[in-house]
Structure 1
């Protein structure tokens, strides 16, 4: 047979195996705690099924169609590029100057 005293003196068996067991065991233990966290988040975010069906299906298709109609009606060929105010400029005063310049050009 093998000598138990030699095994006890071996540093790999004495320090390495317990360390490996702690790392692997800790990984499985933490997995359970994180799973509880994610399960709780799913429960909090869950909506009533009837409410969820109303919100998702009808609203998304209606909004997309409305936005498409608005874009079709908008005149995208005639627009004016107006520079926005810089952080150190007064925005209302600058906007008034821009509007007066645009009116003079027209």
Structure 2
């Protein structure tokens, strides 16, 4: 009887242990709820491949031969490097100047 009364008056047992249980138990509970959320997102993102091809046509496989043919059509020998305006330069004025220089060289 003496031990039970002294334990009930002890502040560590009365307030510390429940707080510790709440913190530790809360972290485990939060982990479980977060895992449920992430599992639900995985299921929602997973689609049938044929349906995904209809929904997202951009994600279709790129055929290398087709891309090579597109690059062959572009005339890379006629390409000229034009630098952009500096932050302290007026961009419209600089673009007009570049266009004039291009038309002179053509």
TM range (shorter): 0.5 to 0.7
Corresponding residue of 2:12: 12
> For 1:68 and 1:17, how far apart are their aligned partners in 2?
69
Shift of 1:103: 4.2
Structure 1 window deviating more from structure 2 (17-26 vs 1-10): it is: 1-10
**Equivalent position SS for 1:97:** helix
In structure 1, runs of 5+ residues without a counterpart are none
Shift of 1:14: 1.4
Q: 1:69 to 1:19 in 2, by over 3 A?
A: farther
Pairwise CA RMSD of aligned residues? 3.6
Corresponding residue of 1:44: 44
Corresponding residue of 2:96: 96
Corresponding residue of 1:33: 33
TM-score (norm 1): 0.61
TM-score (norm 2): 0.61
Shift of 1:100: 1.5
What is the aligned residue count? 103
Shift of 1:41: 1.0
In structure 2, runs of 5+ residues without a counterpart are none
> For 2:61 and 2:72, how far apart are their aligned partners in 1?
19
Q: 1:86 to 1:4 in 2, by over 3 A?
A: same
> For 2:19 and 2:91, how far apart are their aligned partners in 1?
65
